[in-house]
Amino acid sequence: MYQSGLPKKWDNEADIVIVGFGGAGAAAAITAHGAGANVLILEKAPEGEEGGNTRVSGQGYLSIDGIEKGIDFLNAMNGPFTVPQDMVRAWAEEMAKNNDWVRSIGGDPQEHQHQPLGIEFPELPGSDCVHKFHHGDVLGYSKTWQFFEQSVKRRDIRILYGTPGAELVQDGNTKAILGVKAMPAGGGPIYVKARKAVILTCGGFENNQEMIRNYLPGLPYCYTTGSPYNEGDGVRMGLTVGADLWHMNNYAGPSMGLKVPEYRTSFSLTALHYKLEQQGGMICVGPDASRFCDEKLRTMHGKIKKHGKWTPTPVPCPMHMVFDHRLFTSGPLYDKTASSNWSRIVERYDWSSDNVAELERGWIKRAATIEELASKIGLDAKGLEATIARWNDHCTNGVDPDFGRKLMLTPLTQAPFYAVELAPAMLNTQGGPRRNAKAQIVRPDDTPIPRLYSAGELGAIYGHLYQGTGNIGECLAFGRIAARNAIAETRWD
């Protein structure tokens, strides 16, 4: 919203206005409040569904051991997608402080997936700086998020739920950000004055299919396992006031999952997990009825090494997981344990123990023969029969020469046969308004937009490869950086 003057009426105000209540918003709010600022958080989700991807992640955050090693590691992960070195150093210096900060607000950092297990790219220089932590004795189940949320709520920090940021109020002359136009659920717009600064911590665009088609290469659609409220609001608000964008083509994916209209996010299927096994035959096929991957490969957050380079996993849509009756009757296709993912933690769909309810819903297709199944899912019958025959031969020989699969080398033989349509899935996008080492959002000419900051997955620092727990680690690090610089601003009123 470009204007020289102000709204006729400010409906609310604070020193620091934070748009988004996830890990980055929590870190920014706690830091700003600790420095004496009056803080207001605008949260898009209704109360009970807040927390962004931090709430439904695996609950780990990255804390690095050695600043120079961290610099080397981040530069190596980004590869040709370089990031200014002052920002890389700011990231490393602040990531090294994550555990101290968590302790300072009453947390109990505990390490998990100890080295070398937790390092996704051990071949990269500096990779031994990686340490993955969570709060408390339990990993997962939203426990780290609950600690951050309680830490905010113990302080005098106001939160307006169901109130997404819609536009930034920008002075038409100075271009400074003066506040936020928000759209409460079921009501008209409200104007929130930011006496010092606005901090955008509202996540990526993983639930905006138009942005996915425009920015993520080769994806006609993709669905998240995370929060459904991340719809690119911060990207849109940033563009409107002149922000540059970066890392828009990078995301933590793809994987493959089940997406059904009745639920907003995707379901991760047990048979496709890289280390979990079920009894029975299973393959994944693309539109030409042929296999296209090692269905059990452990990817590095969607990246696989091909021709010596890391590249996204192929996801030729539409895709289907085809399996036999033995697998159908071996147990539920979906693990509903509420350890991570939106579908498990928030929506809590009660998947049936025998998969029959999902068959009756039409999520699973069944047929007496492969030919009939191919007809039901729109594939060439002879092609699918040939693919399954080839797979069965591989299982008999004990080796998969096509993709090197080593787990669940079981022939697909027991009728009836089944299929589930798969969709590309992801955790989150990494792109958004570009920020600098002070967490200021910048224009294409590198100049900062006055009084506008960001943190978290909205414009994350990761331009190519991604180390697990890095996003929440960055949420904490740049949430603190953004808050410290925002509170240093002088009041504009």
- Mean pLDDT estimate for the chain: 97
Radius of gyration of the chain (CA): 24
255-426 classified as CATH 3.90.700.10: yes
Encoding tokens for residue 334? 């979906």
377-420 pLDDT, tens digit each: 999 999 999 999 999 999 999 999 999 999 999 999 999 999 99
| pTM of the predicted model as reported, rounded to 2 decimal places | 0.97
Cα 233 to Cα 202: distance, rounded to the nearest angstrom: 7
Q: What is the mean pLDDT of residues 115-134?
A: 97
Residue 36: Cβ within 10 Å count: 8
Residue 289 sits at φ, ψ, to 5 deg, of 70, 15
Per-residue pLDDT at 325 exceeds 50: yes
Higher pLDDT, 188 or 350: 350
For residue 487, the model assigns a pLDDT of: 98
For residue 5, the model assigns a pLDDT of: 60
378 three-state secondary structure: coil
For residue 2, the model assigns a pLDDT of: 41
Kind and range of the H or E run holding 477: helix 470-487
2-250+428-487 classified as CATH 3.40.30.120: no
For residue 1, the model assigns a pLDDT of: 43
Torsion of CA 464, 469, 470, 476, to 10 degrees: 150
Q: What is the mean pLDDT of residues 217-227?
A: 97
Contact 457, 202 (CB under 8 A): no
Q: What is the mean pLDDT of residues 433-462?
A: 98
192-205 pLDDT, tens digit each: 999 999 999 999 99
Q: What is the mean pLDDT of residues 60-80?
A: 98
Q: How many Cα atoms within 13 Å fall on the side-chain side of residue 40?
A: 22
Per-residue pLDDT at 239 exceeds 90: yes
71-123 pLDDT, tens digit each: 999 999 999 999 999 999 999 999 999 999 999 999 999 999 999 999 999 99
Per-residue pLDDT at 3 exceeds 90: no
Contact 204, 458 (CB under 8 A): yes
Encoding tokens for residue 439? 């967490």
For residue 272, the model assigns a pLDDT of: 98
Q: How many Cα atoms within 13 Å fall on the side-chain side of residue 455?
A: 35
Cα 165 to Cα 183: distance, rounded to the nearest angstrom: 7
Cα 279 to Cα 289: distance, rounded to the nearest angstrom: 23
Full DSSP string of 224-257: ESS-TT-SSHHHHHHHHTT--EE-TT-BS--EEE
For residue 186, the model assigns a pLDDT of: 85
389 three-state secondary structure: helix
Say if residue 416 is preceded by a cis peptide, omega within 30 of 0. yes
Each domain of the chain, given as residue ranges in start order, spans: 2-250+428-487, 255-426
274 three-state secondary structure: coil
Residue 304: Cβ within 10 Å count: 16
Residue 49 sits at φ, ψ, to 5 deg, of -120, 15
Contact 439, 344 (CB under 8 A): no
What are the residues facing 158 on neighbouring strands? 40
**Residue environment code for 173-184, b if the CB has 16+ CB neighbours within 10 A, otherwise e:** eebbbbbbbbbe
